[in-house]
Amino acid sequence: MKIIGSYPKTRLRRLRKYKWLRDIISESNISSNDLIMPIFIRDGKNKIEPIKSMPGVFRYSIDKLPIILNQVKKYKIPMVALFPYIQDNKKDNNGSEALNKNNIICKSLKFIKKKYKNIGTMCDVALDPYTSHGHDGIVINNEVDNDETVKILIKQALLQAEMGCDVIAPSDMMDGRVGLIRKELDKNNFSNVSILSYAVKYASNFYGPFRDAVGSKSKLKKDKKTYQMDFRNSFEAYREVGLDIKEGADMIIVKPGMIYLDIIRNIKKNFNIPIIAYQVSGEYSLIKDGIKKKLFNEDIIFESLISFKRAGACAIISYFAIEVAKKLKKIN
Ligand code: PBG
């Protein structure tokens, strides 16, 4: 890019003088339309359980979901992402509970679709909250077996669609699953159900608090490096995105968020597909902790979310979604 102008004729500070002027020339902005709220759901009744590793985030039993869904509705957040927390005695090697028509995700989907028709629902396709070993797929001969796992994931996705899920989000990182899920959905008359693929998901250390929230942390043996992406790589992300688009993904996720903005930018430049950033649990907890310790003020939340928009994301999955939407309503 050519640099145009020179001092003293050109003074960039001129356009920073007033707030209204800064607002006029701002290149990116955020509204509640850009936010997706993750919700953790557990069994039982009358439960709102704090999650230690994520201060301010709770697990809700279904009867208590209105507490959070009413806010989602009030502050005009378009979609929620549902994550289950299930008891240890329901977990096994195959994550069978994922295919139970009466599991908490199925029940929650029915509840939300009945009582909150205008809130979009997104569900993870992956087995980790349901497996006794905490992996996203099934373990055969000490390995997470790709093709056998995909057979189960297809069924999990179809079940979610049958229960009213609007956006199916495979987060498992198995090869070929997007195409096979698309085929299964279409075969069963769910051609209107979208696929939001976690196309670029790194084997990240930032997922720690989430694994605690869904109860897979203490279970997880080894790491997820044989299926999630190596964080030293960037160009590999193009191959993931390209394949997923070919297989029928409607939108893609880049995850984690803030330290992967280069990836969002590169994908934005090279592919014409909506990109959703996931500001993951570790990012949330770090920011939250810094605010609590008064290392920075709450504006850091806006700054972090805007960075995703600036990089090229169209929306952000964030545990701050309600908090931010609330503030935006006050400002506007
Ligand atoms: C499950 C899944 C994970 C996250 C979303 N879906 C964890 C993992 O892959 O281990 C992480 C979300 C977060 O950290 O907020 N496949």
pLDDT in tens, 149-206: 999 999 999 999 999 999 999 999 999 999 999 999 999 999 999 999 999 999 999 9
Tens-digit pLDDT profile for residues 95-140? 999 999 999 999 999 999 999 999 999 999 999 999 999 999 999 9
Angle (CA) 86 89 90, round 5°:
55
Task: Give the residue, by CA position, lying nearest to ligand 1 atom 14.
Answer: 207
Residue located nearest, by CA, to atom 11 of ligand 1:
207
**pLDDT tens digits along 216-237:** 888 898 899 999 999 999 999 9
219 given a catalytic annotation: no
Own/partner pairs, 302-309, CB within 8 angstroms, 24+ separation: 302/30, 302/327, 304/257, 304/258, 304/279, 305/30, 305/34, 305/35, 305/279, 306/28, 306/29, 306/30, 307/258, 307/261, 308/257, 308/258, 308/261, 308/264, 308/277, 308/279, 309/28, 309/29, 309/30, 309/34
Centre of ligand 1 from the C-alpha of residue 60, in Å:
18
Catalytic residue among 224, 255, 288, 309: 255
CATH superfamily of 29-253: Aldolase class I (3.20.20.70)
CA 215 / ligand 1 centre spacing (Å): 11
Q: Please choose from 210, 211, 317 the residue to mutate so as to test ligand 1's pocket, defined by most ligand atoms within 8 A of CB.
A: 210
* Res. 3: pLDDT tops 90: no
What is the model's pTM?
0.97
Tell me how far apart the alpha carbons of residues 50 and 150 are, in angstroms, rounded to a whole number: 33
Please state the domain extents for the chain: 29-253
The catalytic position among 201, 224, 288, 309 is: 201
Q: Is 255 a catalytic residue?
A: yes
CB 309 within 8 A of CB 290: no
pLDDT at 326: 97
Q: Which atom of ligand 1 is nearest to the CA of 134?
A: 10
Q: Is a pLDDT exceeding 70 seen at residue 332?
A: no
- Distance (angstroms) between ligand 1 centre and the Cα of 209 equals 9
In the chain, what percentage of residues exceed pLDDT 90?
A: 94
**Cβ < 6 A, ligand 1 pocket:** 124, 126, 128, 136, 171, 207, 210-211, 224, 280-281
Tens-place pLDDT, residues 313-328 = 999 999 999 999 999 9
| Ligand 1 binding pocket mutation candidate from 172, 206, 280 (most atoms within 8 A of CB) | 280
Q: How far apart (Å, rounded) are the C-alpha atoms in residues 110 and 112?
A: 6
User: Amino acid letter at 258?
Assistant: M
